[in-house]
């Protein structure tokens, strides 16, 4: 039987990204802790940055 995937909220995703960028926790450690694949982490990070760039352009 497969394990159910965890769906993180936007706030949780930002908090995970912040732990890497601000607290300097390695991505590999975060992926182990949150049971993420590194490609998922980087995909989420890129999505957040892409959205921020779009919002800054709208102002």
Q: What pLDDT does residue 4 have?
A: 79
Prediction pTM value = 0.77
Is there a domain that residue 3 lies in? no
Is there a domain that residue 21 lies in? yes
Is there a domain that residue 1 lies in? no
42: Cβ–Cβ under 8 A, 6 or more apart, which residues? 27
Identify the DSSP state of 23.
T
Q: Which two structure tokens, joined as six digits, stand for 19? A: 């732990």
Q: Can you give the residue range of the structural domain that contains 46?
A: 10-58
Q: What pLDDT does residue 1 have?
A: 75
**Count of domains observed in the chain:** 1
CA 15 centroid distance within chain: 8
Q: What pLDDT does residue 6 have?
A: 83
pLDDT tens per residue across span 2-55: 777 788 999 999 999 999 999 999 999 999 999 999 999 999 999 988 988 888
């Amino acid at each position: 039987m497969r394990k159910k995937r965890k769906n993180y909220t936007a706030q949780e995703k930002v908090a995970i990204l912040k732990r890497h960028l601000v607290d300097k926790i390695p991505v590999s450690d975060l992926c182990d802790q949150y049971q993420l694949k590194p490609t998922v982490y980087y995909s989420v990070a890129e999505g957040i940055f892409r959205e921020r760039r779009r919002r800054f352009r709208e102002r």
